[in-house]
Amino acid sequence: MENNLSCLHPNPGWGEAFSKEIIDLNIPNTTLSIGKHCILELYDCDKNRLNDEAFLRTTITAAAKSAGAKLLNLITHRFSPYGVTCLALLAESHISIHTWPENGYAAVDVFTCGEQTMPEEACHIFKTELLAEQFSLTSFKRKTPEDIKNGLRKPHS
């Protein structure tokens, strides 16, 4: 198998037309921040750690704890011949990691609701534990549309 990052396009098969659709969306006024979302790209990581499902389970659990989040459930899957995906369901939202050991790469997503959590701390755990030599971190606040900020969430009948 060829080792390259070309298969890591964030939106495979989405041509220019779809990108234009996103830009042209009519986004409602937003006000209240409901949480923070961090997108972490880790490069030149330890390949053995990226392929070790048990190690990644421990790491994602430690990341959730360091963020001040409550872990509700953890699902992991090891691919053949290599690669692991982990998803941590949090009371505050989620953490996920997808690894490409053959490329030394990991994609991490940390979304936590509320002001008491610290998703950047979770990102620091991943960067440190996976021995990433390079990384890119993008974080932004998720905002609630103005018309639902004070409303109660009710299930559909």
Looking at residue 108, its pLDDT comes to 98
User: Coil, strand or helix: which one is 37?
Assistant: strand
> Regarding beta strands 105-113 and 30-43, do their DSSP bridges make them parallel or antiparallel, or are they unpaired?
antiparallel
- Whether the CB-CB separation of 98 and 78 falls below 8 Å is answered with no
Residue 19 in this model has a pLDDT that exceeds 80:
no
Decide which of 44 and 139 is more confident: 44
93 flagged as catalytic: yes
pLDDT tens string 94-107: 999 999 999 999 99
Compute the distance between CA of residue 32 and CA of residue 49 in angstroms, rounded to an integer: 39
Mean pLDDT of 43-52: 98
Does the annotation mark 7 as catalytic?
A: no
Instruction: Please choose, from the candidates 119, 76, 66, the residue with its C-alpha nearest in 3D space to the C-alpha of residue 99.
Output: 76
Convert 50-83 to b/e letters by CB count within 10 Å (16 or more is b). Answer: bbbbebbbebbbebbebbebebeebeeebeeeeb
Q: What is the pTM of this model?
A: 0.73
pLDDT band at 15 (very low <50, low <70, confident <90, very high): very low
Looking at 98, 123, 124, 136, which residue is catalytic? 98
Residues 6+ apart with CB under 8 A from 41: 105, 106, 107, 108, 135, 136, 137
Mean pLDDT within 118-124: 96
> Would you list the domain boundaries of the chain?
31-145
Residue of 38, 93, 139, 156 with catalytic role: 93
The pair of three-digit structure tokens given for residue 47, joined into one six-digit string: 């390949």
DSSP state of 130: T
Q: What percent of the chain has pLDDT over 70?
A: 70
2 vs 132, higher pLDDT:
132
Structure tokens at 87: 């998803």
Q: Which residue has the higher pLDDT, 15 or 98?
A: 98
Active site residue 96: no
Residues 62-86 have a mean pLDDT of 97
Q: Which of 45, 86, 113, 123 is catalytic?
A: 113
CATH number of 31-145: 3.60.90.10
Question: Is a pLDDT exceeding 80 seen at residue 42?
Answer: yes
Neighbouring-strand partners of residue 40: 108, 137
